[in-house]
Structure 1
Amino acid sequence: MRKFTAILWLQKPVHWSLIFSFASLLVSCGAGDIPIGVSSLNSRYTEEQPALSGNGRFLAFVSNRNANQQLLLYDLEAQSFISTPGLNRRETIAESPSLSYTGRYLCYLTSDQGRPVVALYDRALQKSQILTPSYRGWLRNPDISSDGRYVVFESARRGRWDIEVLDRGPTVELDIPDGKTVNN
């Protein structure tokens, strides 16, 4: 007759260091460590397409907070959101943000009557304007120069993706740090 011996799970050779390491990893990566709320950078919603200003102070990104896709601007130094009245419109998709050096100008892709357009938000004036109202075809990937004068983007108006450079003109108020001179 065979002898039956009960082997408990704890009696099996186990690498306890692996178990404790895994347990500590799970505890340290808990969702409770992430600050979640109205004024925090991270939330429970999808946040994507980050863009950093040239001076590294401001962060623009696309978020699905409040069940609505919107562009948000965050001050990394003050650790708070910047109010951007007139930037986000209801039922309008905004994406691909780009910031000038001090974050005064925010260039992004949005839709106007169902077609994509490149828009520019001026934080000083708190206004948005469409930069490409007459472009036919698709646009993507806008980017603004550090001084805010030039905007580049991809355009498919000739049947293939081309790079377009838009000069906002020599009279545009440039985004430069205080005290720096402008060379024309």
Structure 2
Amino acid sequence: MMSIAAFFLLIAKLHPKCLKSSLKLFGLSILITLVSCSDSGFITPPTQPLGNVLNTRSSEQHPRFSYEGRYLVFASDRQGKRSVWLYDQINGGLLPLPGLNQLGSVQDQPDISADGRYIVYVSEQEGKQDIFVYDRQTSRADNITKNILGEVRHPSISGNGRFVAFESNRSGQWDIIIYDRGLNAPLSLPSQLNN
């Protein structure tokens, strides 16, 4: 099998006028190879077995960032069950979510509003899968799909926290449902970052 360098030298021998172009292509191919091998841009903290960290030896899934990238909400199997976690990139640790993760039930598929105030997620805490909206300021979770028959999944919350979209099969096929939390719902805005 011919190496890349041998290939470019063969082209230069067969077509001397192409020598300069061949050398440029060879240099470019080396540069692309070197750049693609670097870890430039990755800021992920290392995996650790336990603790107030982003990655453990458990399965971590469904990451979603707040608007400015400070907060990262995700689902994890740590502590023996599927739960929702919130990571603060500025402080480099997990933030408490009192009242969100319920014992004996699964919390999964989270999304987060622009400033990190609201977290929407799927939970089975009331006997069936439902969509909940959790307010970090009040530590309260509201079930917005308790009256929907059928399954629900993959919730997404608008940046301002007013609208929630999710999938539901209540009509016999998977459809997109949009829920309006109302004009009186306190908004989540990037300029009002929570601590």
**TM-score, structure 2 normalization:** 0.72
2:191 and 2:158 map into 1 onto residues whose CA distance is 17
3-state SS of 1:115 partner: coil
Counterpart residue number, 1:117: 130
Alignment partner of 1:75 is 2:88 = yes
Relative to its length, the structure with more helix (as a share) is: 2
- Aligned in 2, Cα 1:170/1:45: closer, same or farther, shift over 3 Å? same
What is the alpha-carbon distance in structure 2 between the residues aligned to residue 124 and residue 113 of structure 1? Answer: 23
The 2-side partners of 1:58 and 1:129 are apart by 21
Give the Cα separation in 2 of the matches to 1:42 and 1:162: 33
Match in the other structure for 2:140? 127
Q: Partners in 1 of 2:119 and 2:185 — Cα distance? A: 14
- Between the aligned partners of 1:67 and 1:34, the Cα distance in structure 2 is 17
Q: Identify unmatched segments of 5+ residues in structure 2.
A: 1-45
Which residue does the alignment assign to 1:45? Answer: 58
Once the two structures are superposed, the pairs formed by residues 29-178 of structure 1 within 5 Å of their partners are 34-178=47-191
TM norm structure 1: 0.76
Instruction: Tell me how far apart the structure 1 counterparts of residues 126 and 179 of structure 2 sit (CA, whole Å).
Output: 22
Tell me how far apart the structure 2 counterparts of residues 66 and 132 of structure 1 sit (CA, whole Å): 27
Q: Deviations over 1:25-57 (max 9, x none)?
A: xxxxxxxx6444312211111111111112211
Structure 1 runs of 4+ with >4 Å offset: none
- Counterpart of 1:177, as a letter, is P
What is the rounded CA distance, in whole Å, between the counterparts of 1:113 and 1:79 in structure 2? 33
Which letter maps to 1:80?
Answer: G
CA distance in 1, matches of 2:169, 2:126: 18
Q: Which residue does the alignment assign to 1:15?
A: none
- Residue 175 of structure 1 aligns with an amino acid whose one-letter code is S
Alpha-carbon displacement from aligned partner over 1:66-111 (angstroms, at most 9, x marks no partner): 1122111000111011111001001111111000001100000111
Q: Number of paired residues?
A: 148
Q: Which amino acid aligns with 2:128?
A: R
One-letter identity of the residue aligned with 1:72 = W
Separation in 2, partners of 1:154, 1:84: 25
Which letter does structure 1 place at the counterpart of 2:94? F
The DSSP-based 3-state class of the residue aligned with 2:124 is strand
Query: Cα RMSD between the aligned structures?
Result: 1.6
